[in-house]
Amino acid sequence: MNPRLNAPDPTYDELRIAHQAHAPNTVPFVNQALSWDRQTLEAHQSILLNQLTQYARLHSSYWRDRLANVPNEVTIEHLRDIPILTKREMMAHWPELITIPDVTLDEAYEHLHNLTEDGYFKDGCHLIASGGSSGEPALFLYGWDGWAGCTRAIGRYMPHLSQHYPDWKNPTGPSANVGADRASHMTIAMATTFGYGQKQIPVTLPLDQIVSQLNELQPVRLSGYPSMMLLLTEEAAAGRLQIAPKVIQPSSEPLTTEIRTAIMQTWQPNIMNIWGCSEACAVGNSFGPEPGMYLNEDLVIVEAVNDDNQPVSPGEMADKVLLTNLFNMAQPLIRYELTDRISVMRDPSPVGFPFRRIHDIEGRTDDVFLYQQQSSTIPVHPILFRGPIAKTLGILEFQVFQTHHGVDIHYLAERPVDEPDLIRRLTEPLKQVGIQNPVVECAHKLSLKRGGVGKLRRFHSLGAPDVR
């Protein structure tokens, strides 16, 4: 939907204000859905899925061909008739897959390359780049309604917490996010568009600067990467970080038992975990002290499947997830493959919500690289490497190995890679965080070694088993 404003050439602030006003009206069922039964929820999913497929057929040549053998009236019972969409397939056909006409990949990449802060792309759209965790980044285009719809799942449970858990409060006060450093990242762009009032602290800053900013702000709510949360608990234990957050909101990485325990021992906060992704924003949210997370099934369809794409039973660990975004028409994602591993809980919701619950996402957080520099230790978060690698065209997969003075990068490529440029773009940030004379080396490989279950571990710290 193209925003209709009085100004013929609206400014960013005019668009942002219009978007903020529009957001509460975007997904009207977001509150009512919590009181639905399962049958009503699945009927709602079928209606939205049918609307999505109809729109995709009409406005996307890619989806018109891909859905040729699927009935015109699509319900969730027909979902398995639709072929699975992989990241590589999506990016290979991106201009034909999106429903916004006359947009090229070169135009999209140029927009992201020049993006220094939040900005609209075309026809009131937002363009988001994934973290590039699997090589060349995936691009996700959100229309006017879709971008506003992203906001609805994030805080949907807050008004209901006190109803079911009186001890759980929603404190007011300063908020900080220690996370991404790129305007193309979902969390940064959304916070800027919709004015959350949250202080954004790049995780790529030197740790002492992060600590200093948090000490000055004294956030009541703290969000960010779990791996950074672990470092912050260590800073608190050492007496350098002196804050008392009441709510911790981890995102973008698995919240391991180790990190959850460290957070609770340090601050005793309420933990509100989110399973978020560039493809659909908040796929799952925790609710109060309940274990796991609720899937936002009025906004997305989540299929937990094995490696053969067959559904797994509740309680069984899935090998991957097939995600269908029901609220973003600009870039239809139907049965899009995610490598997240989830397990659906057997027990129904104790508070009567119709949504399925999942255990916390299985996985390990990426290694934070610790460099010894004279008498100090300098931590470097993996996002420092992800950003430059994601902007390097041609890289399909990669692994980053820490060395004593820098990193070795192994990669697979579909085209020649400008290694000197990548080395330059990694060397400078390493210098900025305090690494003296960093050494960055790159090596093109024909294959990358994987673990016993076939998973590719992308970041290897010193002391970790060497798979090179």
| DSSP one-letter code for 349 | P
1-364: which CATH architecture? 3-Layer(aba) Sandwich (3.40)
Of the two residues 415 and 90, the one the predictor is more confident about is 90
Tokens (6 digits) for 278 = 């560039």
- DSSP letters of 304-325? EE-TTSPBPPTTSPPSEEEEEE
Q: Matching CATH topology for 1-364 and 369-460?
A: no
- Residue 149: CA count within 13 A, CB half-sphere: 25
- Most confident of the ranges 113-117, 254-258, 320-324, 388-392: 320-324
Tokens (6 digits) for 132 = 């590039």
Q: Residue 133's pLDDT is what?
A: 46
CATH class of 369-460: alpha beta
User: Is it the case that residue 447 has pLDDT exceeding 90?
Assistant: no
Q: Which candidate, 130, 193, 184, 149, places its Cα nearest to that of 300?
A: 149
Instruction: Measure the CA–CA gap between 132 and 387, rounded to whole angstroms.
Output: 7
User: Which percentage of the chain shows pLDDT scores above 90?
Assistant: 49
Domain boundaries, the chain: 1-364, 369-460
Per-residue pLDDT reduced to its tens digit, 202-229:
888 889 999 999 999 999 999 998 888 9
Per-residue pLDDT reduced to its tens digit, 263-299:
999 999 999 998 988 999 889 999 988 889 999 999 9
Place of tokens 């009541």: 220
Q: State phi, psi for 441 to the nearest 5 degrees.
A: -125, 145
User: Is it the case that residue 189 has pLDDT exceeding 90?
Assistant: no
Per-residue pLDDT reduced to its tens digit, 53-62:
999 999 999 9
- pTM of the predicted model as reported, rounded to 2 decimal places: 0.83
Instruction: Measure the CA–CA gap between 421 and 402, rounded to whole angstroms.
Output: 19
